[in-house]
């Protein structure tokens, strides 16, 4: 199967987005690299449902996935022109266990019905490989990219990973408490901004004239020797600062905008400092970014400036491939399928693993 075109249908349900994508993969030949064509990439967001609680409720999210999956599948197939599918990829973990099971069971039903194999996917690896959906990747060869440092920042994860090659990962550090995206979400909630907090904080921060001296938040663990992160102290600092303001100040747009800009900058400072330190220590050629927080334009701009100063490649997916989507699962399915030695027909024993680690 490796020499012919592969059409992959991928399912993502690890958190609060129901995503199904169909992509066509033309394997690499002597003359060219692998080429990917996205035939459809449907994401049904549950943001409105979870917004009223200020966060994601796993059992509610699971129910929504159950409701959404058949409709999302229909749309994805229709938009793709109902092609013949060769392979099903599905997120195995990490993520919210009830949500993962919903996607996996749906994949199994489909696999039986269409008599297709299933490839289980690590969600973090998929956030990294989302960069390979970009056409620019087709012009770069592996020698130009690796070794690399990957930084994955999402609602559930903050991880710094050394990559010697595609599929070769070593976790250098990760968050000890809240993820960076979670910190955006929780501090936005303190400030009375909407859910998800990242885009809300970014919007307020962009309006700020940023008299940064007026609010000064901690940059947790920035100078620690290791590559771990901690963002819960930042959230607490925001909470106390806010609580100590008179009502009139709390409600002023200037306070909210300045605070949003300082929260955003504190998170960016820590992420950039640790990533650059790891890049220098491991003498890498590239920095690879991924995850929902990378949708933040200010963060991307500052990473770009740092990478160009050090003459490093910077890979960052376009906004729509930063947050959870099926296309990133599909492309990861392609690379994992090629690596597989035994291509079992159905592989119906795939199980959800909420704490799945990159290896």
Q: Choose, by CB under 6 A, the member of 184, 229, 231, 303 that binds ligand KG4.
A: 184
Give the residue ranges of DSSP H helices in the chain: 47-51, 58-80, 97-114, 123-129, 142-145, 180-190, 197-207, 232-243, 247-250, 253-281, 297-309, 319-322, 326-339
> Which are the contacts of 304, defined by CB distance < 8 A and separation ≥ 6?
314, 316
**Cβ 2 to Zn ion, closest distance in Å?**
28
Q: Is 324 in the site for Zn ion (CB under 5 A)?
A: yes
**Cβ 321 to ligand KG4, closest distance in Å?**
10
Angstrom distance (rounded) from CA 350 to CA 266 = 40
H/E element, 37: strand 35-45
Nearer to ligand KG4, 199 or 326 (CB): 199
Q: Which option in Zn ion, ligand KG4, none does residue 198 bind, with CB closer than 5 to 8 A by kind?
A: ligand KG4
> Which are the contacts of 235, defined by CB distance < 8 A and separation ≥ 6?
178, 183, 186, 187, 190
Site for ligand KG4 (CB under 6 A): how many residues?
20
Q: Which option in Zn ion, ligand KG4, none does residue 258 bind, with CB closer than 5 to 8 A by kind?
A: none
**Cβ 58 to ligand KG4, closest distance in Å?**
13
List the beta bridge partners of residue 91: 121
Compose the 319-358 pattern: x for residues touching ligand KG4 by CB under 6 A, - for all others: ----xx----------------------------------
Angstrom distance (rounded) from CA 76 to CA 117 = 19
Q: Is 197 in the site for ligand KG4 (CB under 6 A)?
A: yes
Q: Is 68 in the site for Zn ion (CB under 5 A)?
A: no
Q: Is 291 in the site for ligand KG4 (CB under 6 A)?
A: yes
Count of Cβ atoms closer than 10 Å to residue 264 Cβ: 23
Nearer to Zn ion, 14 or 40 (CB): 14
Which of 49, 67, 116, 125 is CA-nearest to residue 87? 116
Q: Is 181 in the site for ligand KG4 (CB under 6 A)?
A: yes
Angstrom distance (rounded) from CA 21 to CA 228 = 33
**Cβ 67 to ligand KG4, closest distance in Å?**
20
- Residues forming contacts to ligand KG4 in the complex (CB under 6 A) are 15, 154-156, 181-182, 184-185, 196-199, 202, 291-293, 295-296, 323-324
- Residues forming contacts to Zn ion in the complex (CB under 5 A) are 154, 324
């Amino acid at each position: 199967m490796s020499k012919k075109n592969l059409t992959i249908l991928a399912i993502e349900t690890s958190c609060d987005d129901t995503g199904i994508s169909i992509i066509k993969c033309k394997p690499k030949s002597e003359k060219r690299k692998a080429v990917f064509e996205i035939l459809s990439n449907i994401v049904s967001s549950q943001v409105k449902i979870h917004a009223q609680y200020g966060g994601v409720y796993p059992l509610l999210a699971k129910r929504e996935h159950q409701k959404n999956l058949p409709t999302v599948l229909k749309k994805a197939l229709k938009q793709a022109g109902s092609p013949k599918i060769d392979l099903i990829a599905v997120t195995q973990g990490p993520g919210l266990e009830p949500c993962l099971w919903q996607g996996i069971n749906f994949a199994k039903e489909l696999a039986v019905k269409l008599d297709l194999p299933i490839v289980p996917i690590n969600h973090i690896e998929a956030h990294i490989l989302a960069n390979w959906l970009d056409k620019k990747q087709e012009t770069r060869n592996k020698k130009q990219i690796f070794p690399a440092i990957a930084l994955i920042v999402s609602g559930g994860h903050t991880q710094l990973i050394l990559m010697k090659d595609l599929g070769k990962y070593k976790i250098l550090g990760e968050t000890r408490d809240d993820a960076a995206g979670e910190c955006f979400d929780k501090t936005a909630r303190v400030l009375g901004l909407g859910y998800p907090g990242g885009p809300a904080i970014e919007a307020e921060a962009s309006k700020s004239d940023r008299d940064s001296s007026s609010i000064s938040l901690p940059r947790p663990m920035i100078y620690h020797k290791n590559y771990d992160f901690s963002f819960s102290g930042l959230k607490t600092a925001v909470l106390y600062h806010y609580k100590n303001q008179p009502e009139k100040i709390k409600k002023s747009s200037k306070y909210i905008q300045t605070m949003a800009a300082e929260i955003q900058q504190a998170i960016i400072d820590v992420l950039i400092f640790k990533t650059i330190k790891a890049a220098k220590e491991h003498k890498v050629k590239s920095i690879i970014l991924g995850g929902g927080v990378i949708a933040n334009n200010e963060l991307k701009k500052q990473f770009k400036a740092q990478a160009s100063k050090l003459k490093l490649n910077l890979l960052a997916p376009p906004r729509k491939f930063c947050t959870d989507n099926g296309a990133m699962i599909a492309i990861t399915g392609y690379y994992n399928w090629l690596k597989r030695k035994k291509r079992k027909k159905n592989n119906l024993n795939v199980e959800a693993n909420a704490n799945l680690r990159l290896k």
